[in-house]
Chain A
Amino acid sequence: MYKYTIEPFQEMFAAPDFLLQVLWEGLVSGILYALIALGFVLIFRSSRIFNFAQGIMVVFAALTLVGLHAMGVPAWVSVVLTLVVMLILAITIERVVLRPLVGQPDIILFMATIGITLFLIGFGEIIFGGENKVMITEELGIPTDSFVLEPWGGLLILEQKDITAVAVAALLVAGLLLFLNKTRMGRAIRALGDDHQAALSVGISLQTIWVLVWFIAGIIALVTGIAWGARAGVSFALEVIAYKALPVLMLGGLESITGAIIGGLMIGMLEKLFEIYWGQPFLGGNTETWFAFVLALIVLLFRPQGLFGERIIERV
């Protein structure tokens, strides 16, 4: 029992530089999980749609950026054009897929997002091909060097692109919170999330809000795609990282922006700590595959709405 309960903590204190590195890696992963989860939450809040296509939107945005740059478009112009593409995508999805399905059961809308996923996979592969592509990290001015620190005489490597990812994600989240709380459109999104019927009755346009939230999800997808693509290239394999957002949503609650952020950070850091100090020494490693789901399930046992979700009481 001692080796499972006390020894891991002794190891943490014996090599604090290593513990810091573990926490840093967890923080970077966590903030990226939170970003993906945010995309889900925004769309769910405003439309009750669980957007299965969020993962492929990350791939599509990253591929568009890299593809435009490959055609000779300067890096930052490519970013702007990619945002235009994501806006067109949002408008198209609203017009072609969502609008005809207004009033249909949630499961129909969920199935429609699976259809969007399949379409974007096929369409993306026709246009961009399935090969792995290099993210234009340096062209975007993102530094690629590392800060090598020696706390307590040890070693701590902080990649500058990870620091940039954390900073940009934090700015994006702050901007998003400001937008949702301080602007008219932001309040309209929140109003739709709180009460659909009431929001519609005061003249909030469902179509405009849907386009807006899908576009914001597209912006988040682009930032996520740049951050993840800088790690191991841009390919359709990026899509699988969306699954990492599911336990974040279970933990944080499907409707809570705060929940997505805190849930993402918690899962990122806890799964890394568990993997390094318990998973690898005692369970053969690769516990990150399931740890977040188990943690989320435990939370759901006590709080079925997630840590920050709203408790729904239906009276019959």
Chain B
Amino acid sequence: MNDPKTGDILIHWEETMKKLLKLTSAVALGAVLGTAAVAQELYAPNLAYRTGPFAATGIPLMNGQADYLNMLNARDGGIGGIKINSEECETGYSTEKGVECYEKTKAKAIVTQPWSTGITLQVLPKTNVDEIPILAPGYGFSPMADGKVFQWAFNTPSGYWDAASMILQYLQGQGDLNGKKIAFLHLDHPYGKEPLPLLEKKAGEMGFELVPIPVGLKEMQNQSAQWLQIRRERPDYVVMWGWGAMNAGAITEAVKTKFPMENFIGVWWSGHDADVKIVGEAGKGYKSISWSFPNPDAPVMADIKKHVVDAGLTQSNEEEMSGVFYSRGIIISAILAEGIAAAQAEFGTAEINASQLRWGLENINMTEERIAELGLDGMVPPFSTSCSNHTGHSGGWMLEWDGSKFVKASDHLMPDTSDYAELIATKAGEYADANAPWPTNDACEG
């Protein structure tokens, strides 16, 4: 009855009905209570995408995010005694809808979470004017690391150039890259092109040949042309910057063309369990760099079960909750929660505003001790941010598909940030010049 591969549709339907009933009751109750008093809350909207071509990868992330904040609301009464309203605005991963969602939510928002590099690039200049921090964990424009230029943008805890640096380091560890050929299979979208400047720079320095291979949105599920090119080029490695259906499409083609899976590495958004489950055992050896890792035994998972799952507040299921993307959603909300807590402590008020949250996000100190205190053991590497460092450069682990799940295949890897510090400064400067007058944080001395 319960096919783990496809999920139980009946249960899903039943759960949906129950949720609709609860929602209706909640709306009715809210309408009654709303007239009596307006509840205090911090409004942290999420520009989510549970629909459209990328929904399959969006859903577990959104569920992880929502469950963590719901758990804090239920267990601790929110953060610093004030509840978090993490209302979702559905974008379907469309840049136009994302911008609409931003405009719709910005009046009350203390943060915006755009959830796509395309949307991030569009709202980046707007947030500078509206003074709302962008929280884009592990995505967005890589030079956002430069907090002096991008005062309001955060791609904590790791950026795309960190990912590229760690992947190249890992590959170098497998044998000198000089004279090797790396195919860069990427979504033909701002996200997919993001690591190109660094990869091109490193190709020259390390002596490998880089072959960029774009995949159009309409070709995500039929990548035969791209994999024919890979067959013709005979690269030593394929590095993938894929998203949504592109990941499953690429992994299926890699299996079909018998490309050695151990030489196929994806960025963290290409490491979704459901994408590799489609090929199962045949995907054994496929790798993905990641700054998060699921730990079912972490105390936070028990708290989520107790306060969210058992209370019927989750939209997730057991299989999804054991995966990489759900746990990444948890970490993303934990980063936001740490920023809020830091700001509350600094400014002595629970009801912080967007500007104060920016300070909080610039002063996150996620040490091993703090990670354990939050119950996130083994789920995220330590990192800290500052006014000049909006990424944190946490590093990550190389994960490997063992036929049924991702396991850690490396120790904690750290990116060589000195390698591209100059590139970050140059690109950040170019962006500021192109968007002049662009206010920078000259007070920052970090």
Contact = CB atoms under 8 A, between A and B. Distances in A.
B244 A237 contact: yes
A240 interface: yes
Interface stretch (A89-97, A128-136, A296-304): A128-136
B416 interface: no
B56 interface: yes
Contacts of A239: 53
Contacts of B55: 125, 130-131, 235-236
A18 B278 contact: no
B3 A69 contact: yes
Contacts of B258: 157
B314 to A, nearest CB: 13
B219 A288 contact: yes
Nearest to B10: A71
Interface string A120-142: 01000111111111100000000
Given A70-B6, A232-B278, A131 B56 contact: yes
A193 interface: no
Interface in B190-221: 212-221
Given A72-B1, A231-B249, A232-B248, A241 B221 contact: yes
**Residue picked from B1, B7, B221, most chain A C-beta under 10 Å:** B221
A237 B248 CA distance: 11
Nearest to B319: A131
Interface string B269-281: 0000011011000
Contacts of B54: 237
B7 A159 contact: no
Interface in A84-121: 121
A236 B51 contact: yes
Contacts of A289: 188, 216-219
Contacts of B8: 70-71
Contacts of B13: 127
B12 A127 contact: yes
Contacts, number: 156
A134 B216 CA distance: 22
A178 B320 CA distance: 47
Given A25-B225, A133-B5, A236-B51, A286 B277 contact: no
Main secondary structure of the interface of A (DSSP, over half): helix
A66 to B, nearest CB: 5
A101 to B, nearest CB: 27
A151 interface: no
Given A70-B9, A133-B6, A231 B277 contact: no
B221 A130 contact: no
A243 B221 CA distance: 13
A285 interface: yes
Contacts of A233: 56, 245, 248, 274-275, 278
A54 interface: no
A289 to B, nearest CB: 4
Interface residues of B, number: 53
Q: How large is the interface on A (under 10, 10 to 19, 20 to 34, 35 or more residues)?
A: 35 or more
A48 interface: no
A289 B226 CA distance: 12
B224 interface: yes
Interface stretch (B34-42, B121-129, B228-236, B283-291): B228-236
Given A70-B8, A71-B1, A132-B274, A286 B188 contact: yes
Interface stretch (A36-44, A169-177, A180-188, A272-280): A272-280
A280 B213 CA distance: 8
B296 interface: no
Nearest to B17: A126
Nearest to B49: A130
Contact of B245 (A66, A128, A132): A132
Interface string A219-237: 0000000001001110111
B222 A237 contact: no
B440 interface: no
B417 interface: no
A261 interface: no
B16 interface: yes
A284 to B, nearest CB: 7
Contact of A157 (B58, B188, B257): B257
Contacts of B214: 284-286
B66 interface: no
Interface string B56-74: 1011100000000000000
Contact of B229 (A29, A121, A276): A276
Given A22-B228, A71-B1, A132 B56 contact: yes
A208 interface: no
Interface string A68-84: 11111000000000000
A129 B408 CA distance: 30
Nearest to B20: A126
A237 B245 contact: yes
A265 to B, nearest CB: 15
A21 interface: yes
A238 interface: yes
Contact of B5 (A28, A134, A235, A288): A134
Given A70-B3, A70-B7, A235 B53 contact: yes
21 contacts: A25-B228, A28-B224, A71-B1, A128-B12, A129-B59, A130-B50, A131-B60, A131-B274, A132-B278, A157-B257, A231-B221, A232-B221, A232-B245, A236-B52, A240-B220, A241-B222, A244-B218, A285-B212, A285-B214, A286-B188, A286-B219
Interface of B: 1, 3, 5-10, 12-13, 16, 50-56, 58-60, 188, 212-222, 224-226, 228-229, 231-232, 244-245, 248-249, 252, 256-258, 274-275, 277-278, 320
Given A132-B248, A233-B245, 9 more contacts: A67-B6, A71-B8, A125-B51, A232-B221, A232-B249, A232-B278, A240-B220, A272-B224, A285-B213
Interface of A: 18, 21-22, 25, 28-29, 66-72, 121, 125-134, 146, 157, 159, 228, 231-233, 235-241, 243-244, 272, 275-276, 280, 284-286, 288-289
Question: 3 tightest A-B contacts by CB?
Answer: A130-B55, A237-B245, A132-B56
